[in-house]
Structure 1
Amino acid sequence: MDNMKKEPATSRRKFLKTSAGAAASWAVLPDALAFSLIPKPLPNEPTSMATGKSLIGTYGEWAASLAKNIPSLSFRQTKWTNIKTWQKEALAKTNELMCKPDMGKAPVVTVEKKYVYDGLDIEELSWKLPYGRPTKAYFLKPQGAQKPLPAILALHDHGGNKYFGKRKIVRLADDMHPLLVEHQEHYYGGKAWANELAKRGYAVLVHDVFAFESRRVLYEEVAGFTYGPLKTDSKTDADPEKSENIQAYNAWAGEHEHVMSKSLFCGGTTWPGVVLAEDQVALDILSNRPEVDKNRIGCAGLSGGGLRTAYLGGLDARIKCAVCVGFMSTWDDFTLHKSFTHTWMLYVPLLPNYLDFPEVLGIRVPLPTMIQNNNDDDLFTLPEMTKADSILREIFVKAGAGDKYQGKFYDGEHKFDQPMQKDAFEWFDKWLS
């Protein structure tokens, strides 16, 4: 590890909010590093596009009007009275549009290393998918635990940081990379929340997902970028752990997102579909562990991890309890206000014609579901976060499962701090213990 002086996260945020250069240099701002360049409305100022501006100018109101206020497969439609019938159709349509790639047979899991740290038994794992380099993962459980345990698939965030994936939410030694220390202090209250859950009595699996850490795209693997921010002729994969190289890579990877997403579309799939498929492989692996009670598995994550929770929790009933942190709003919010603050991992073409974004997670009703929002989260607008909460609450109440849903709002910016972790962990305890 190097001793390079770290730039405080708050300084980066200030730059993104005030610099005209930020908008010009980031075609697509990844989620947790991307903050709104649009001034917040004054208190009581209406936020509808009838009185304001949209990200796409005069086309905003028209674009937002294309999808019906209550989409055709919304459980809020009066025509849907049978949960099972609705779930079958909503699940089929969403999977169709996501176009998940075929992952083939279950991969062989290799145990790379075993050790004890922080009162936990830790295994470093790897497995090979049909494409890309091997996926690396960590499995954590209370030291010496043998009986079937409740389990959590812990989903790492995006954070505008593709160099790191699983390492962002674990602590495996006293010595950590300074950028990871900073990341955990800023977004997680200084805690490695995967460790905290494991110490609470859970088996926890954390894996790198598509395009992050062990799954990231290397400079040497690409060709053809000879100009602009994606040019690679002056870049190297050598000394990857140096802070300046990590920061340079993350800037490059942010610019590369639109290229990756367009290429996936042309290949007949979507970025959300690829991520869902990889998360489901990890869920298979976690479910098959002898220490795990496969009937008591949950998932959670902040930001990009919250996005992954929305899709995995909504589309895979093996997730018996879900906590989506810092990623819940409406398609209208993304259409009019905040598309530029989010990763391409979010977008499923045509899906808004059938379900609003919170309704994807709502497909899991009546399985226990918690949403955690931050009132000052610049990645979303508060009115649309509130609307998303109301939509999910309506779905659960209509299904006769109002007690299985909890939407919570916290003061502060984009984060999953210790008070939020406490509430999330207690939610897991309530439904998985």
Structure 2
Amino acid sequence: MTKGLDDRRFDPVAYTLDRYTAAPRRLRFQARTRRQAEAWQKTLRAKLTELIGGLPIIASGRQPLRPVTLETRAFPGYRREKIVFDSRPGVSVLAYLLLPEKAQTPAATMICVPGHGRGVDDIVGIDEQGRDRTDKAGYQHDFAIQVAEAGMAAVAIEPMGFGCRRDPINARQSLSRKACEPAAGGALLVGETMIAWRVWDVMRTLDYIATRPELDSSRVGCMGISGGGTVTSFSTALEPRIRVALVSGYLNTFRDSVGSLAHCIDNYVPGILNWAEMHDIAGLIAPRPLFVESGEKDNIFPIDASIESFKQVREIYGVFQAADRVEQEVFPGEHSFWGKRGIPFLARHLSA
């Protein structure tokens, strides 16, 4: 680049990685007993909530959900409802409830969070023209339908910044266009994060599930791919009502994924490396069941780092004497949902 000078001195990623090496990660997992591990979880949960910008303070009860069912349709093996409920004042969530015909009610239920792309349509069998599809296309493979086909109910939610929850300028573009900006940047401007906003939507989805007699609010899990895996990880780490999680195409290290490769701004938490790494956040899920799946050819969450991070997670579960409740499947594919072992894992742990 500049003759006679070290090119690395002009490389911002190299500087970032140097800062990573020097970051203290003050709340990294070091416990040796379950009692110590539980104390660590309590401390890190509080710090993580602070770092993502906090969650709404509930002093006089939660905002009314005001749910509305917009549409009900029958499909082979399941019923699909299109619903809307309020998450916070002035903010609504679009969701689809998929209820299997043969499910014993109240049914075990999975909250399904899509990754970047077309939004919730891409996991409930709706194509870009709004038509029904049956081929489970795209990198997300309609995984909410796969959940229903496995006998569990699915509540698939539209994340803020995706699909119908885009700002007007982005909404005029193709559904496949990344639309997290400017909203994710706006969250940072007010001292919060898009992760926190989406985690709160998951928590409110749990509240909605509790209003439905067909759904068992004591048997609820959360799952997602890519950006949905991010939301699943943070939500399950912070919300004890979630009983089991499937994280697809996300578990890695901050160093090797969002710290080294181009990612959407909604993946970032300011200051997180001063306190913890990604496996520490996943460790907050212990001892609840956790399934992780990673593609061998994933180009934005490199497989070697995913495998190494999972080893760290498994060590945390070992301290909880719960190593049998955490699994990883490395599959021969790219950045996509797999589900071959993951969905049966969910059904087993939710007794579906």
Both proteins in one fold, TM over 0.5:
yes
The gaps in structure 1 that reach 5 residues or longer are: 1-51, 220-234
1:144 deviation in Å? 6.7
| Alpha-carbon distance in 2 for matches of 1:144, 1:396 | 34
The two structures, once aligned, show a CA RMSD in angstroms of 2.8
| Corresponding residue to 2:166 among 216, 220, 226 | 216
Map residues 381-392 of structure 1 onto 2, 5 A cutoff: 381-392=302-313
| Alpha-carbon distance in 2 for matches of 1:307, 1:215 | 18
Map residues 91-110 of structure 1 onto 2, 5 A cutoff: 91-102=45-56, 104-110=62-68
Aligned residues: 340
SS of corresponding position for 1:205: strand
SS of corresponding position for 2:268: coil
User: Does structure 1 retain, via aligned residues, the 8 Å contact 2:103–2:152?
Assistant: no
The gaps in structure 2 that reach 5 residues or longer are: 1-7
Aligned to 2:112: 154
Residue 263 (str. 1) matches residue 219 (str. 2): no
Compare the two structures and name the one with the higher helix fraction.
1
Aligned to 2:100: 142
| Alpha-carbon distance in 2 for matches of 1:54, 1:67 | 21
Name the aligned partner's letter for residue 427 of structure 1. Answer: F
| Alpha-carbon distance in 2 for matches of 1:156, 1:415 | 11
Q: 1:266 to 1:320 in 2, by over 3 A?
A: same
Residue 88 (str. 1) matches residue 37 (str. 2): no
1:268 deviation in Å? 2.3
| Alpha-carbon distance in 2 for matches of 1:326, 1:310 | 11
Residue 408 (str. 1) matches residue 329 (str. 2): yes
| Corresponding residue to 1:378 among 275, 280, 299 | 299
| Alpha-carbon distance in 2 for matches of 1:156, 1:54 | 37
| Alpha-carbon distance in 2 for matches of 1:380, 1:55 | 21
Q: Normalising by structure 2, what TM-score?
A: 0.87
Aligned to 2:4: none
Task: Render the CA deviation track for 1:26-69: whole Å, top value 9, x for unaligned.
Answer: xxxxxxxxxxxxxxxxxxxxxxxxxx99962541442122323x
User: Does structure 2 retain, via aligned residues, the 8 Å contact 1:63–1:335?
Assistant: no
Residue 59 (str. 1) matches residue 15 (str. 2): yes
Q: Percent identity?
A: 24
| Corresponding residue to 1:169 among 93, 98, 123 | 123
1:179 deviation in Å? 10
Q: Normalising by structure 1, what TM-score?
A: 0.72
Map residues 225-304 of structure 1 onto 2, 5 A cutoff: 245-246=173-174, 250=177, 253=179, 257=181, 259-304=182-227
| Alpha-carbon distance in 2 for matches of 1:167, 1:204 | 13
Structure number, greater radius of gyration: 1
Residue 75 (str. 1) matches residue 29 (str. 2): yes
Aligned to 1:187: 139
| Corresponding residue to 1:311 among 231, 234, 241 | 234
SS of corresponding position for 1:333: coil
Task: Render the CA deviation track for 1:241-296: whole Å, top value 9, x for unaligned.
Answer: xxxx416x716x36xx2x43332222121111111111211122123321112221
Compare the two structures and name the one with the higher strand fraction.
2
